[in-house]
Structure 1
Amino acid sequence: MDEADVTQPIRRSILETCYYGTAQFDGQVDGYKAAATEGEALDDFAFQVLNGAGDLLDLMHVIDPQNAPDWTKMTHEEAQFFVQSRGMCSALIKVLGAYEDIFMSHSSWFVYQATMRIYKHYNFNVQDKATAAKQISFSSYPGINMVMLQTTNNVFNTSLYQYVSSESLLAWQRVRVANMMAHDGKQWGQVFSLYNSGTYNNQYMILDLKKVHLKSSLDDGALYVVEQIPSLIVYEDVTQILRTGYWPSYNVPFFEIIYNKSGYPDFVAQHGTDYTYQLAPRAKIFRRDEGNVVDMKTMKKIMRYNDYKNDPYSEGDSCNAICCRGDLKHPKAGPFGCYDTKVSNYSMALSFQADIINGPTLGSGLPPFVWTGSYKQSHVGLPEKYAFDFLTTKPKFRKK
């Protein structure tokens, strides 16, 4: 029996589950049009762009390859800025020494114009056998007692874009389907790997809390990592690494085949070891400081960490930090970087709760970001100054 025969039933379930997302999308579009002022309603395509913003990072290069950045002609400074401005997110999963608790956190990186953040809790009354998770919370996607975190990898080998196909599902669609269908990390990878669009090429971390036994053990399959490039998706159980204390993620592929096919070796040969998995600035900072994480407070501290003026691993660069401040870069300052953080632990994740904060980090005595007159980017509806504290979010469908 070939692979097509084996995967046919799951392919049918994927397309059926995808229908739920499409139906919700249609409902949101119709609801917006019903409420919008006459003449100001957005069309369907605008909503597709909003949902597929991550996929567009790669689709732009597929559709218009002539305008794709040529890193081989970049100086070291230009290459660094290119990677930092495209690098999206830091993530950390940390388990305490005797497995007393496990923490998971994600800090998003992008343009500060995108700080109109929403933390969503969905409770779907779906009645079919293919649906494993009816309750889902964003941004870290708890599913059937699972947590999904994601960081973006670069594709320096642009020849891979020839494998991008329209006969596929975009990443945002496959993530949504995998979150609803998967019972464990392995199944999440299996579902996600079908209909690969080759766009929004990320590392996904699937933490299965059903296999985490506090003060006892981490069962095999507790942590699966999934990485995608055009034409290939790799997923493996990396629980053995997590058992040593932590799993970090910082926009460099973990799997050697993904790293090599993405073109990282050639990029490193030209621009240095800051782009390797072992010696990226955030890899060094996580390795040095993860032992300081002992509770929610210290987990928040490491995920908002930026001491670029004093930390030797930052080398004076405000984006060589767990939480980048692109507005403080010199000479290419701009409103981009790390703009939110979500932190949870074992008990909170089981209740779909997280402590969340919006806005660029204050790091170690850094000034709050302010939309001054020097910024020409539109920021309608956003706060002028970002100096917020963490708050706890929890869904109404969880009464306890």
Structure 2
Amino acid sequence: MGHLTINTSAVFPDSEQLKAAGFLEGWLTAERIHQHFQNMVAFYETSNNENGPAQFQFLATQEVWLRHQMNSSDTQQSPFWAYIRLLMAQFDGLVQGSAGLCLQVTPDFSDIFVAQAAWFTYAAMVRIFKHYHFKLHDTSLPGTDLAYSSYPGQLSSDDDFYLVNPTHLAVLQTTNRLFNESLLDTIQPQAVLSWQRVRSALSAASSGKEWAQLVGLHNSGTYTNSWLVIDLKRFSPGRPLQHGLLTVVEQVPDAMFSADFTHILESGYFALYNVPALQPAYEALGYPAFLASQ
């Protein structure tokens, strides 16, 4: 895995910092982007995906809606939309220029471990671990230092594995199956895609509860995930675990669910393997009916 670190300067406005960061990443990793693109095109061509044109149209419609919303007078005071504007500046600059999770504490609560296994195709092994250090002036966006595993040409993780400072949040994700296909009818392009909502929540949130609220805004429903949000500010070695240390957030196409799971972690560890932890998400995605049919 390659490594990429980008630092910006507070001399420049936030939007210029992000656009320049995107441009620099695009320029530095152009060859890797091309290689990753060729690998993934070959992978998806062999999957006989007949919905490709419809998916491209969905994404095109979503981008038009997103850019209109982020520039609307109704969104100018929102930290969520403030970061969406910065994220799309980074995206524009970039264009120009499956998983298992485990969280464990030691028996004496002296240390905490976060781990993830990324289960994806070998074709996606052209990987980059990215570090962004933004000097933002907008005080409503405290998460300025971001580190995550990623791929060429992507501004999100997709694994997903994020570390954020100075808010000291660690965020991991595993993807769940959607067996209740009636939920597909609720998906519309007039929404914010998962990678965009996640990046905004990573920047604007200071706690697991805030992260859950932000990532649920304008839910696109296009990525049925379970997220673990670990607030490392609430961990003190050798002390009892504090409420809010572990928040589980789960998305289905028409809803978001979240709960504090710190009490589960007190028993030693908490793990997810592509099955929802929250009963409402488990039922909404159709797991009970699927199991009954087996």
Tell me whether 1:27 sits opposite 2:93 in the alignment.
yes
How far is 1:11 from its partner? 7.7
CA–CA separation in structure 1 for the residues paired with 2:110 and 2:78: 41
- Equivalent of 1:127, from 116, 137, 153? 137
Aligned to 2:263: 240
What secondary structure, in the 3-state scheme, does the structure 1 residue paired with 2:174 have? strand
How far is 1:12 from its partner? 2.2
How far is 1:206 from its partner? 0.3
Q: 1:202 to 1:13 in 2, by over 3 A?
A: same
- Equivalent of 1:191, from 205, 214, 218? 214
TM superposition outliers: structure 1 runs of 4+ over 6 Å: 8-11
- Equivalent of 1:209, from 229, 232, 245? 232
Q: 1:10 to 1:189 in 2, by over 3 A?
A: farther
Tell me whether 1:147 sits opposite 2:157 in the alignment.
no
How far is 1:10 from its partner? 9.8
Q: Return the letter of the residue paired with 1:142.
A: L
Tell me whether 1:252 sits opposite 2:275 in the alignment.
yes
Q: 1:22 to 1:259 in 2, by over 3 A?
A: same
Deviation string for 1:319-376 (max 9, x for gaps)?
xxxxxxxxxxxxxxxxxxxxxxxxxxxxxxxxxxxxxxxxxxxxxxxxxxxxxxxxxx
CA–CA separation in structure 2 for the residues paired with 1:163 and 1:218: 39
How far is 1:142 from its partner? 1.1
What secondary structure, in the 3-state scheme, does the structure 2 residue paired with 1:119 have? strand
8 A Cα contact 1:164 1:231, kept in partner: yes
How far is 1:89 from its partner? 0.5
Q: 1:10 to 1:96 in 2, by over 3 A?
A: farther
Q: Return the letter of the residue paired with 1:110.
A: F
- Equivalent of 1:104, from 96, 111, 114? 114
Q: How many residues align structurally?
A: 208
Q: 1:169 to 1:185 in 2, by over 3 A?
A: same
8 A Cα contact 1:10 1:191, kept in partner: no
Structure 2 gaps of 5+ residues are 1-73, 150-160
**TM-score under structure 2 normalisation?**
0.69
8 A Cα contact 1:92 1:248, kept in partner: yes
CA–CA separation in structure 1 for the residues paired with 2:252 and 2:77: 20
How far is 1:189 from its partner? 0.1
Percent of aligned positions that are identical: 38
- Equivalent of 2:199, from 172, 176, 186? 176
What secondary structure, in the 3-state scheme, does the structure 1 residue paired with 2:274 have? coil
Structure 1 gaps of 5+ residues are 1-7, 32-87, 272-400
Tell me whether 1:90 sits opposite 2:113 in the alignment.
no
Q: Return the letter of the residue paired with 2:227.
A: Y
Aligned to 1:231: 254
**TM-score under structure 1 normalisation?**
0.51
Rg larger in 1 or in 2?
1
CA–CA separation in structure 2 for the residues paired with 1:146 and 1:110: 25
Aligned to 1:306: none
Q: 1:309-348 counterparts in 2 under 5 A?
A: none
CA–CA separation in structure 2 for the residues paired with 1:118 and 1:11: 34
